[in-house]
Amino acid sequence: MTNIRQEDLIQSVADAFQYISYYHPLDFITALGEAYEREESPAAKDAIAQILTNSRMSAEGHRPICQDTGIGMVFLKVGMDVHWPDATMSLQEMVNEGVRRAYADPDNPLRASVLADPYGTRKNTKDNTPAVVHFDIVPGHHVEVICAAKGGGSEAKAKFAMLNPSDDLVDWILKTVPTMGAGWCPPGILGVGIGGTPEKAMLMAKESIMAPCNMHELKAKAASGEKLTRPEELRLELYEKINALGIGAQGLGGLTTVLDVKVLDFPCHAANLPVALVPTAPRPAISTSISTVPARPDSNRQSSRTGRT
């Protein structure tokens, strides 16, 4: 049994949301730089240059990458051997307190965009709480926290369909992506969730975009002749065909609409083929992971971060 202090989790969440507000991860910047180098459209090339310049200014000045600093979303993987000896809050409440601290940080205050009574008064909660939290109880003695600040523009372009098993999944995606327009601020990453049930497909699509931008590794694997898994084959096919649509950076045309495509799948009912699309864009970094791993039984916070836009 491992003891983890309530304050450690709260402050880890607060640190994460501040961190992702102004830092893009290296894998994203590398992919965006490569897209800039190969771009042939002057307008698209200029748009990518502006994103890269903005990213550097945000990192150096510790100021938000975008004015939309998102809705707080957290994936929690809680080890079954973890104990919370001093906890007076639920895990949801701990996460909410971390979000509250992050968004009210006097050195870098973040925009509060969360509204209560969504179909009525739509009153701002003032501190960007509550966060949307997904829990997973796993073997082990640690807590892994993945934080995402998901901007409203890319969220508005999320798509879902309950296809028939005989429908062409790739065809549906290629018809759907152009309807998303430029409101999700491409070039970015497209998450695809396939199977399960409607809510499972949407959750997989969103969770998939937390992974590093590694399309270059997948292309190298394919070029070497190494056998690809079915999800890997689909990732590569969609990456090439979506970029061939010519939507381009900020919808200005060009060679790069997506920097990467992520795919997660799950078994589904024989009568259904649920498919979800969730895009993410070069705005507030969309994921940071923190592992709270005690170095000794009385708990010690250790953080490792990998950002995602």
pLDDT digits (tens, 9 = 90+) for 21-39: 999 999 999 999 999 999 9
pLDDT digits (tens, 9 = 90+) for 141-163: 989 999 999 999 999 999 999 99
pLDDT digits (tens, 9 = 90+) for 208-244: 999 999 999 999 999 999 999 999 999 999 999 999 9
* Ranges of each domain in the chain: 1-24+65-151+285-309, 152-282
pLDDT of residue 282: 64
Mean pLDDT, range 80-92, rounded to an integer: 96
pLDDT of residue 1: 84
pTM of the model: 0.91
**Phi/psi at 277 (5° precision):** -120, 130
